[in-house]
Amino acid sequence: MEPLLPKGKKSGRPPKHPKRQLINGIRFRVRTGVQWRDLPERYGPWQTVYGLFRRWQRDGTWKRILTRLQAQADAEGLITWDVSVDSTVARAHQHAAGARKKGLNSGNRRAGLTPNRMITESAGRGAG
């Protein structure tokens, strides 16, 4: 994995924590789903681990690593690209597809409003 990692800068203060330790912290966080602040101390300060994660996310390092690892695994025949979709999973409910409900949108009434029968009937009797 070393050739996939970006080259570090030579100038500035030397790092306190090895990259392997920080990457293991990132992997632990992704695998378990814990909050960054709850990262075990053996991976270094959570701010340092998070900083490396975000820096590599912004500059596209994670995407490059994933692409190169997938290409390498595909070349070795370790990835099966077959996909199977079951129709019961892909089918949408009729309301999810925008089907209209009966009686709500007749005439020029707004959808969702129905007249109050009691008021309509009493007004009809008094008028005639």
Mean pLDDT by 10 residues, the chain (128 residues): 69 85 95 96 96 94 92 92 72 66 59 56 53
pLDDT, residue 84, reads: 78
pLDDT, residue 111, reads: 55
For the chain, the structural domain boundaries read 18-75
The backbone torsions φ and ψ at residue 75, rounded to the nearest 5 degrees and listed phi first, read -65, -30
The pTM (predicted TM-score) of the whole model is 0.57
pLDDT, residue 104, reads: 60
pLDDT, residue 106, reads: 54
CA–CA separation, 9 and 6 (whole Å): 9
pLDDT, residue 87, reads: 66
